[in-house]
Chains A and B, each alone.
Chain A
Amino acid sequence: MRKNIGLKIFAGLVFAFLLVPLLIIIVTSFGTNTTIQFPIKGFTLEWYSKVFNNEAFMDSFFLSLQVAFIATLLALIIGVPAAYSLARHRVFGRNWIKSFFLSPTIVPGLVVGYAMYQFIVIKFQFPIIQGLFLGHFLICLPYVIRVVGSTIEQLDFSIEEVSWTLGCTKLQAFIKVVLPNITSGIFASFMLAFINSFNNIPVSQFLSGPGVTMLPTSLMNYIEYNYDPSVSALSVILMLGTIVLMYVIEKTLGLASIS
């Protein structure tokens, strides 16, 4: 087999370009320097302990976790039946609706955030927490509809029909036959939506208010006044979390089938 050296070098460069900054952050999080500097002078875990002792970080971390979890759950409750309906029924304007549900992944986050700000905060004056749930629910929904929808489309429709002939009502068929066969899609969409909600900056930024800060916002606030490596430490913790989730998705469904 002919080995293409040029291609290998090029691929290596691209990977380096993507990974080196991350590596630097990981390294600096263990450094004894008081600002984020590379290379580091000595090794310490001080910045990690600082992160865990920072109340603003911990509060916003648990708030982000809570918002992401509840928003994703809501998105599943609404999104799975919607995805089913779009996949199975001849809904009027089905393709149009499908592209519409993709739009939040295409439209710039800032625009989505500002639009939500206009409606959720200014027009309808939702309380802050509920507004955050609603906003994050809306950014989670497209992932659920898209991922679960593609899983349902891959499912042989005749297994539903056969369950009807065996005596299932449509609802029973959905619960006994469809749901058990789309669990991988539901799980994957849960992970994806969760990560997206958790890492989302614009929507959180626009919808949060006094006393309610989401983690990315809290992180940005911190960087404005401090430039110490606890920011790196926090980033490493978040990266680890994301890597674990992605690994779980890859193991359950395979990333290729949802991207």
Chain B
Amino acid sequence: MSYVELKDIRVSYDNKANILKDLNLSIEKGELVSLLGPSGCGKTTTLRVIAGLIEPNDGEFLVDTQNLTKVPVHKREFGMVFQSYALFPHLTIKENVAFGLKLRKEKKNSIDKKVKDILAITGLEELGDRYPKQLSGGQRQRVALARALVIEPKLLLLDEPLSNLDAKLRLAMRIEIKRIQRQLGITSVFVTHDQEECFSISDRVAVMNKGVIEQFDTPEEIYNNPKTEFVARFIGFENFFELTPTEEWNYKAVDGTVFHSTRDWEPGKHTGTIRPDDIEITRNNKQNENNMVSGIIKVRTFLGKSYQYEVETPIGKLLANKTDDVVYQVGDEVTLSMPSHKLIIV
């Protein structure tokens, strides 16, 4: 059994629509797992169920084989970092960080030492006597992290902790969070809607949609091998077209073109998808082979290092990117070919 187990968690408000539908998630000790998805997908609700801020209508939540489903939030001993940082405005940075330790009635020496150590780890030594409003966003973020970590929590929960920072700081802080998380070996759950942020920081990612986990895998697996159409769309597969399975690994498109995919084969799946970057675009040669389709360029968009072409084809509108060594015009007839190792069926 894993260190953290969510079993068949169901959450609904006022017993109407389900926010979470029989959600299952297992997290190993020391792992950093991200919950990724668009707003309203249930990722924050999942985090709040773990924290104990929401009681699930059904299901079980275990940490280290202990059933915590009914344990109230103040007895769970988890550290949580909120999007708004939620520092106590009336306390200094030191007092903010010491807050949890004082509640545990630890000795003053021990509190002072722990506070000093965590402030050093988070790079806040100089700021201990200031008040939160005297700090910058990035510094507040560190204080929130230090305050959550100093109680040596069994779990660290992060609710979109970087979304209030500017782009440059966000990049620095996510490296920082990863470093501290590794250094302390603390099992962490990170909620975000930012794909890049999530991939760079996580050991594993749970992509969520409408209260269910669509895919739970390593960032590489999710990026290269999405299992559902939703996941594919969310991580930038922009081309989707209907296929009819003929035999294993072989499909027929609506215009009769045969498509072949060397990727994972599962019965029942029948939507082909491919990234715009992976489509090869050439001038129409009138003799299409397998995995090729012809069409007319409708729109051309300059993306910087490449152009994106929107091509009207018999199997639907497709997007293809091509570097600017050869430039096509709107109205040109072109052939798009999809390498069988890049074509994914979801």
User: Which A positions have Cβ atoms within 8 angstroms of B?
Assistant: 156, 158-159, 161-169, 172, 176-177, 180-181
Task: Tell me whether A165 and B84 are in contact (CB under 8 A).
Answer: no
Q: Which residues of A contact B53 (CB under 8 A)?
A: 161, 164-165
Question: What's the least CB distance linking B83 to chain A, in Å?
Answer: 8
A161 to B83, CA, bound (A): 12
Q: Which residues of B contact A168 (CB under 8 A)?
A: 74, 103
A167 to B148, CA, bound (A): 11
Which of B85-93, B177-185, B243-251, B288-296 participates in binding chain A?
B85-93
Task: Tell me whether A161 and B74 are in contact (CB under 8 A).
Answer: no
Q: Is B131 an interface residue (CB 8 A)?
A: no
Q: Which residues of A contact B100 (CB under 8 A)?
A: 166-167
Task: Tell me whether A165 and B51 are in contact (CB under 8 A).
Answer: yes
B86 is contacted by which of A162, A172, A176 (Cβ under 8 Å)?
A: A162
A124 to B90, CA, bound (A): 45
The 8 A CB mask of B69-89 against A (1 = contact, 0 = none) is 000011111111011101111
Give 4 closest A-B pairs by Cβ, nearest first: A166-B100, A158-B86, A167-B103, A162-B86
Q: Which residues of B contact A181 (CB under 8 A)?
A: 88-90
The 8 A CB mask of B291-319 against A (1 = contact, 0 = none) is 00000000000000000000000000000
Q: Is B99 an interface residue (CB 8 A)?
A: yes
Task: Tell me whether B74 and A167 are in contact (CB under 8 A).
Answer: yes
Evaluate whether A158 and B151 lie within 8 angstroms (CB atoms) in the complex, with A165-B78, A166-B99, A172-B103 already known.
no
B77 is contacted by which of A158, A167, A169, A177 (Cβ under 8 Å)?
A: A167
Task: Tell me whether A158 and B82 are in contact (CB under 8 A).
Answer: yes
A172 to B75, CA, bound (A): 13
A177 to B88, CA, bound (A): 7
Task: Tell me whether A165 and B74 are in contact (CB under 8 A).
Answer: yes
Q: Which residues of A contact B78 (CB under 8 A)?
A: 165
A156 is contacted by which of B80, B84, B148 (Cβ under 8 Å)?
A: B84
On chain B, the number of residues with a Cβ less than 8 Å from chain A's Cβ atoms is: 28
Task: Tell me whether A163 and B99 are in contact (CB under 8 A).
Answer: yes
Question: What's the least CB distance linking A195 to chain B, in Å?
Answer: 27
- Least CB separation from A180: chain B residue: B90
User: Which B positions have Cβ atoms within 8 angstroms of A?
Assistant: 51-53, 73-80, 82-84, 86-90, 99-100, 103-104, 144, 147-148, 151, 157
Question: What's the least CB distance linking B328 to chain A, in Å?
Answer: 52
Q: Which residues of B contact A163 (CB under 8 A)?
A: 88, 99
Task: Tell me whether B74 and A156 are in contact (CB under 8 A).
Answer: no
Task: Tell me whether A162 and B82 are in contact (CB under 8 A).
Answer: yes
A25 to B151, CA, bound (A): 64
- Least CB separation from A162: chain B residue: B86
26 contacts between A and B (CB under 8 A): A156-B86, A158-B83, A159-B86, A159-B87, A161-B73, A161-B86, A162-B80, A162-B82, A162-B86, A162-B147, A163-B99, A164-B74, A165-B73, A165-B74, A165-B80, A165-B148, A166-B99, A166-B103, A166-B147, A166-B151, A167-B77, A167-B100, A167-B103, A167-B151, A168-B74, A169-B74
A206 to B76, CA, bound (A): 56
Q: Which residues of B contact A166 (CB under 8 A)?
A: 74, 79, 99-100, 103, 147, 151
A158 to B157, CA, bound (A): 14
A67 to B74, CA, bound (A): 41
| Residue of A161, A166, A168, A169 with most chain B CB atoms under a 10 A cut-off | A166
- Least CB separation from A172: chain B residue: B103
Q: Other CB < 8 Å A-B pairs besides A161-B82, A163-B99, 6 of them?
A: A159-B89, A162-B147, A164-B52, A164-B53, A166-B74, A169-B74
Task: Tell me whether B90 and A158 are in contact (CB under 8 A).
Answer: no
- Least CB separation from A169: chain B residue: B74
Q: Which residues of B contact A165 (CB under 8 A)?
A: 51-53, 73-74, 76, 78-80, 148, 157
Question: What's the least CB distance linking B219 to chain A, in Å?
Answer: 27
| Residue of B78, B90, B104 with most chain A CB atoms under a 10 A cut-off | B90
- Least CB separation from B99: chain A residue: A166
Question: What's the least CB distance linking B341 to chain A, in Å?
Answer: 47
A177 to B96, CA, bound (A): 11
- Least CB separation from B80: chain A residue: A165
Q: Which residues of A contact B148 (CB under 8 A)?
A: 165
A169 to B52, CA, bound (A): 13
A165 to B157, CA, bound (A): 10
A103 to B79, CA, bound (A): 44
